Amino acid sequence: MVNYRYLGNSGLKISEITYGNWLTHGSQVENDVATACVHAALDAGITSFDTADVYANTKAEQVLGDALAGQRRESLEIFTKVYWPTGPGGPNDTGLSRKHIMESIDGSLKRLGTDYVDLYQAHRYDTETPLEETMQAFADVVRQGKALYIGVSEWTADQIRAGAKLASELGVQLISSQPQYSMLWRVIEDEVVPASLESGLSQIVWSPIAQGVLTGKYVPGQPLPAGSRATDENGGARMIERFMRDDVLERVQGLRPVADELGLSMAQLAIAWVLQNDNVAAAIVGASRPEQVAENIKASGIEIPAELMARIDDVLGDIVDRDPAKTAENAPQTRPV
């Protein structure tokens, strides 16, 4: 069964393996399979579920809400996000303006079939809306009881500090950051993590297995596995391409002896690795089959000895991306339409 951790400087506990439905629910898998995956997560003790209004253009929230129908609401932690364009793509169907936030939370709650979400997150930083306007709107969402806590995703260290300061002044808690983080992508370690510790946030990380690369299924010189993310022209292939180099794939294969020594699969090793970071509250995992949930959950509670952590670093060497500037470089510079 899964272990639980406090989220940021709050009393909220979440499951350290959190179920996420990006790229799956409402698009890649049928609704009955999605429901089976959610129920497998519940059976394994996962209580935390992450989604966003933009996933499958709102369909993912609907699928998750339907899958969780009938569960005791107080026993769940439901997270969603706002920022990216949704709906028909009108001029105000995007960003972190007060208008878009206030309208989006109502849409998310309706699709999720709940009166409130436990965590409402800014899916990116909006360069075209004053931060004061955004944080005031989030504070009002909390005061209206539509969200219990607020968080951010892929914000820089300076943005986190500024957002946390405004949240504190407004009397609400900014408690989480949701960045990409894995053995291969460590850009948060030098700046975002220290800023988060300073500001009372912890990380809920996405892509802990680097879009599937850290499972070891992609072998240099071999054909891509049929049906894998690297063959998905609807978005998966674009997301994974940064890791699909022979030098990266060769180093990843070198992690197999470490996984074997711990009695873990490669995917379990990758998930367990991110959870060794004390500032990580949870790793988000998705699934296209219920069996994947059962396998991923085995990473919970694993302690990787220091000598094996060092060996992982030695194996991966200089293919690891640690540049903190990548957080800002990968963020939208203008509001998307």
Angstrom distances, CA of residue 276 to CA of 18, 65, 271: 16, 31, 9
Token pair 């936030």 is found at: 101
| pLDDT in the model for residue 225 | 67
pLDDT tens string 295-330: 999 999 999 999 999 999 999 999 999 999 999 999
Higher-confidence residue of 96 and 25: namely 96
**Alpha helix locations (H) across 44-97?**
59-68
| pLDDT in the model for residue 227 | 58
- The catalytic residues are 55
For residue 164, the cross-strand partners are none
SS3 2: coil
pLDDT tens string 260-272: 999 999 999 999 9
The structure tokens listed for 121 are 């997150």
- Say whether pLDDT at 26 is over 60: no
| pLDDT in the model for residue 171 | 97
**pLDDT-derived band at 234, boundaries 50, 70, 90:** low
Residue 34: other Cβ atoms inside 10 A: 23
Q: Of all residues in the chain, what percent carry a pLDDT higher than 70?
A: 93
Mean pLDDT estimate for the chain: 93
**pLDDT-derived band at 240, boundaries 50, 70, 90:** confident
pLDDT tens string 209-228: 999 999 998 888 776 666 56
Angstrom distances, CA of residue 61 to CA of 3, 17, 117, 177: 25, 19, 12, 20
pLDDT tens string 59-103: 999 999 999 999 999 999 999 999 999 988 899 999 999 999 999
| Contact present, 75 and 327 (Cβ < 8 Å) | no
- What number of residues does the chain have? 337
- How far apart are the C-alpha atoms of 26 and 32, rounded to whole Å? 11
| pLDDT in the model for residue 233 | 61
Higher-confidence residue of 258 and 336: namely 258
Mean pLDDT of 243-255: 94
* Residues sharing a CB contact under 8 Å with residue 333, sequence separation 6 or more, in sequence order: 127
Low-confidence winner among 38-47, 143-152, 229-238 (lowest mean pLDDT)? 229-238
**pLDDT-derived band at 16, boundaries 50, 70, 90:** very high
What would be the CATH architecture of the domain defined by 4-329?
Answer: Alpha-Beta Barrel (3.20)
Mean pLDDT of 182-205: 98
